């Protein structure tokens, strides 16, 4: 309710908000209620947090390649790097960036709105996220350091004293940070969903929406339905840790001493965690899928193949995401019929995923391809999504999953399918919308250099992990010395992976330099450098100013994919252009208006 109440003054103040742009430094750049500024704040914060997550991955890789040679990396530190790397990347980078960054920037511009439905709530969402990041990093200065209980923070080991590093204040701060993040995500999600439902421009039917908006929209709905489980699980775990309750902690004898807990059920936490955790991976992949769809259509100069099927697939993936969570728990022990159901539901996800993949391929097929940096990243996304997604069919089968559980096979699978793919989607989007958001072009040569090193490099990192995992290399181990079934060559492979990881890391410096240099020195961009159809490219100013559209809002007459329409005067027809030929055969919303 307080969210709502907080949103209200804004709804009363529209006239002022939109006719008098804020002029002070604080209201314009810090406590701004403009969705574009908030998007930038999210973007910059998430990228900086992501750099920390990347550095942790290097430290882990250095240990695996050169075990014990760096005194900085002790077993406890290793577990902390691992835990924090996972948390940071999944929650504080990918979720925050894709929903808070892309969601904020793109939704109002793509649907033809002047701002979000609740701008004040939107500002609160960012600053709440900021507080959650502060809490996350505060764990690094408390006694015991941050949690090392694994990113899944399973009890009992995550909160029992001495059972894992940071199992007292480290985990408590992390749980508080997650609860605050859920509050932030809820405020954001309410805004994104309400905005898409209520503030679309005249003529913009749901079936005229660009797929980027569809992806972010469904991901936001998933966030609203999934984050509460993390919140509930987190609060209960926090009470177990702080107040001595026994929601999850059973009777435990530690070093001959009986702890105060009794009867709790650790599996219950796993259910709550994965009820959130599985939709979470779709929360990060659906927006990336949407972004990639729009970029591929644009640079193929073709309408997206099967728009309606794409929308249905997004909805199907979103719906299935709530029916598969226990496939993360096959080895936790469950009724075989239960496991059977979750295996079937998991394999069913392959159907909408395959529909999307074929549609991307068929959009590319016969297209007039324009290999810009964002296009390369979009194609790279399709590649890593397939390379990572196909092994989901292995892991979704209970019998195959059991021996592969907690090996590098799993690490390779989820990094390729939702880590690397989501990041490639983010890079595609950053390069694609950079000219609109900044008003200058990035450097194409540096962009392509960044792409090729990142793309080839991430394959070099993660593909060999399939082999290591199949050979039995366990995940989360500080050292593999005692893992006797591993052949000696696996160590050489680990050195190779580490070198690739450091190289990919270095390539991100090229990206950072390109970004910063282009912001100040890049060539001035025109309003629509990619000759795109969707509304964000039709703003009167570039970058768009406060209120986005000047005196009159756009009116929408067609879908976002009128590329290369036979008989049209140019090879693209923006959504706000009335009349003229259209891709009628494929425009699903053709009868709506």
Pairing assessment for the beta strands 253-254 and 257-258 based on DSSP bridges: antiparallel
In angstroms, rounded to a whole number, what is the distance separating the alpha carbons of residues 164 and 171? 10
Helix axis angle, 2-12 relative to 119-138, nearest 10°? Answer: 140
Provide the token pair at 322.
């709530």
Binding residues for another protein, per CB under 8 A? Answer: 1-5, 7-8, 11-12, 14-15, 18-19, 113-115, 117-118, 121, 186, 189-191, 193-194, 197-203, 205-206, 224-225, 227-229, 231-233, 235-236, 239, 243-247, 260, 262-265, 268, 272, 275, 547, 551-553
Number of CB atoms found within 10 A of residue 18's CB: 15
Largest distance between two CA atoms of the chain: 83
Q: Mind giving me the DSSP string for 524-544?
A: BPPS-TT---SGGGG-SSSS-
Rounded to whole angstroms, what are the CA distances from 363 to 211, 277, 292, 351?
14, 32, 11, 18
Give the nearest distance from C-beta 199 to another protein in angstroms: 4
Give the nearest distance from C-beta 34 to another protein in angstroms: 13
In angstroms, rounded to a whole number, what is the distance separating the alpha carbons of residues 280 and 225? 10
Verify cis geometry, omega within 30 degrees of 0, for the bond prior to 156. yes
229 vs 297, which CB is nearer to another protein? 229
Give the nearest distance from C-beta 239 to another protein in angstroms: 7
In angstroms, rounded to a whole number, what is the distance separating the alpha carbons of residues 368 and 298? 10
381 vs 549, which CB is nearer to another protein? 549
Number of CB atoms found within 10 A of residue 162's CB: 11
119 vs 170, which CB is nearer to another protein? 119
In angstroms, rounded to a whole number, what is the distance separating the alpha carbons of residues 260 and 426? 46
CB 81 within 8 A of CB 514: no
Sorted by sequence, the CB contacts under 8 Å of residue 519 that are 6+ apart come out as 438, 440
Give the nearest distance from C-beta 401 to another protein in angstroms: 24
8 vs 393, which CB is nearer to another protein? 8
1 vs 482, which CB is nearer to another protein? 1
190 vs 493, which CB is nearer to another protein? 190
Give the nearest distance from C-beta 230 to another protein in angstroms: 10
Give the nearest distance from C-beta 38 to another protein in angstroms: 17
Sorted by sequence, the CB contacts under 8 Å of residue 233 that are 6+ apart come out as 269, 272, 273, 276
Tokens 């496939």 sit at which residue?
327
154 vs 466, which CB is nearer to another protein? 154
Give the nearest distance from C-beta 233 to another protein in angstroms: 8
Give the nearest distance from C-beta 202 to another protein in angstroms: 5
3 vs 76, which CB is nearer to another protein? 3
69 vs 335, which CB is nearer to another protein? 335
233 vs 419, which CB is nearer to another protein? 233
9 vs 143, which CB is nearer to another protein? 9
Sorted by sequence, the CB contacts under 8 Å of residue 27 that are 6+ apart come out as none
499 vs 555, which CB is nearer to another protein? 555
DSSP letter assigned to residue 208: G
In angstroms, rounded to a whole number, what is the distance separating the alpha carbons of residues 113 and 351? 34
Give the nearest distance from C-beta 215 to another protein in angstroms: 18
In angstroms, rounded to a whole number, what is the distance separating the alpha carbons of residues 462 and 265? 35
Give the nearest distance from C-beta 185 to another protein in angstroms: 10
CA 180 centroid distance within chain: 18
> First vs last Cα of the chain: how many Å apart?
36
Sorted by sequence, the CB contacts under 8 Å of residue 48 that are 6+ apart come out as none
* Dihedral sign (CA 189, 190, 196, 201): negative
Give the nearest distance from C-beta 553 to another protein in angstroms: 5
Give the nearest distance from C-beta 142 to another protein in angstroms: 23
CB 458 within 8 A of CB 387: no
Sorted by sequence, the CB contacts under 8 Å of residue 351 that are 6+ apart come out as 316
Give the helix/strand (H/E) hosting 245.
none
551 vs 566, which CB is nearer to another protein? 551
Give the nearest distance from C-beta 71 to another protein in angstroms: 41
Give the nearest distance from C-beta 87 to another protein in angstroms: 21
Q: Mind giving me the DSSP string for 345-387?
A: HHHHTHHHHHHHHHHHHHHHTT------HHHHHHHHHHHHHHH
Query: If DSSP codes are grouped into helix, strand and coil, which group holds residue 547?
Result: coil
Give the nearest distance from C-beta 339 to another protein in angstroms: 18
In angstroms, rounded to a whole number, what is the distance separating the alpha carbons of residues 502 and 512? 16
Rounded to whole angstroms, what are the CA distances from 487 to 67, 279, 409, 473?
16, 37, 16, 10
322 vs 477, which CB is nearer to another protein? 322
204 vs 310, which CB is nearer to another protein? 204
């Amino acid at each position: 309710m307080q969210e709502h109440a907080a949103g209200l003054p804004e709804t009363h103040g529209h006239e002022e908000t939109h006719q008098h742009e804020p002029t002070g430094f604080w209201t314009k750049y810090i406590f701004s209620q403009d969705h574009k500024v908030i998007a930038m704040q999210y973007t910059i914060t998430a990228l900086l947090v992501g750099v920390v997550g990347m550095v942790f991955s290097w430290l882990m890789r250095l240990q695996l390649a050169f075990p014990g040679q760096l005194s900085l990396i002790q077993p406890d530190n290793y577990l902390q790097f691992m835990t924090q790397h996972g948390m940071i990347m999944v929650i504080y980078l990918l979720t925050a960036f894709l929903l808070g960054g892309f969601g904020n920037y793109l939704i109002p511009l793509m649907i033809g709105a002047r701002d979000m439905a609740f701008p004040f709530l939107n500002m609160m969402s960012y600053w709440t996220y900021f507080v959650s990041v502060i809490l996350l990093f505060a764990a690094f200065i408390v006694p015991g350091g941050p949690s090392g209980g694994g990113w899944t923070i399973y009890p009992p080991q995550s909160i029992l004293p001495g059972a894992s590093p940071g199992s007292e204040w480290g985990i408590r701060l992390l749980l508080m940070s997650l609860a605050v993040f859920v509050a932030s995500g809820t405020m954001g999600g309410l805004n994104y969903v309400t905005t898409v439902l209520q503030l679309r421009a005249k003529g913009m039917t749901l079936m005229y929406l660009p797929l980027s908006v569809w992806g972010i929209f469904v991901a936001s709905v998933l966030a609203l339905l999934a984050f509460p489980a993390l919140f509930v699980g987190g609060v209960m775990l926090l009470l177990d840790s702080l107040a001595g309750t026994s929601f999850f902690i059973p009777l435990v004898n530690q070093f001959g001493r009986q702890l105060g807990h009794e009867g709790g059920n650790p599996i219950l936490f796993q259910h709550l965690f994965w009820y959130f955790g599985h939709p979470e991976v779709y929360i990060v992949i659906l927006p990336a899928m949407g972004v990639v769809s729009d970029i591929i259509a644009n640079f193929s100069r073709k309408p997206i193949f099967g728009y309606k099927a794409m929308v249905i697939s997004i909805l199907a993936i979103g719906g299935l995401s709530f029916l598969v969570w226990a496939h993360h728990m096959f080895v936790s022990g469950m009724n075989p019929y239960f496991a059977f159901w979750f295996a079937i539901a998991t394999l069913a996800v392959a159907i909408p995923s395959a529909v999307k993949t074929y549609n991307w391929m068929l959009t590319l097929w016969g297209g007039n391809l324009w290999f810009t940096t964002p296009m390369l990243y979009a194609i790279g996304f399709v590649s890593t999504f397939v390379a990572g997604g196909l092994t989901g069919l292995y892991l979704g089968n209970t019998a195959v999953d059991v021996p592969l559980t907690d090996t590098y096979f799993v690490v390779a699978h989820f990094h390729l399918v939702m880590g690397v793919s989501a990041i490639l989607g983010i890079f595609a989007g950053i390069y694609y919308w950079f000219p609109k958001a900044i008003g200058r072009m990035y450097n194409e040569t540096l962009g392509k250099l960044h792409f090729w090193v990142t793309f080839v490099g991430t394959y070099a990192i993660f593909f060999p992990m399939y082999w290591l995992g199949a050979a039995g290399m366990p995940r989360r181990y500080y050292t593999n010395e005692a893992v006797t079934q591993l052949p000696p060559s696996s160590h050489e492979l680990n050195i190779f992976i580490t070198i690739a990881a450091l190289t990919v890391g270095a390539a991100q410096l090229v990206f950072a330099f390109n970004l910063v240099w282009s912001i100040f020195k890049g060539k001035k961009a025109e309003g629509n450098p990619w000759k795109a159809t969707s509304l964000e490219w039709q703003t009167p100013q570039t970058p768009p100013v406060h209120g986005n559209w000047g005196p009159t809002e756009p009116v929408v007459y067609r879908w976002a994919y009128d590329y290369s329409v036979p008989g049209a005067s140019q090879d693209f027809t923006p959504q706000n252009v009335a009349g003229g030929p259209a891709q009628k055969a494929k425009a699903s919303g053709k009868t709506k208006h």
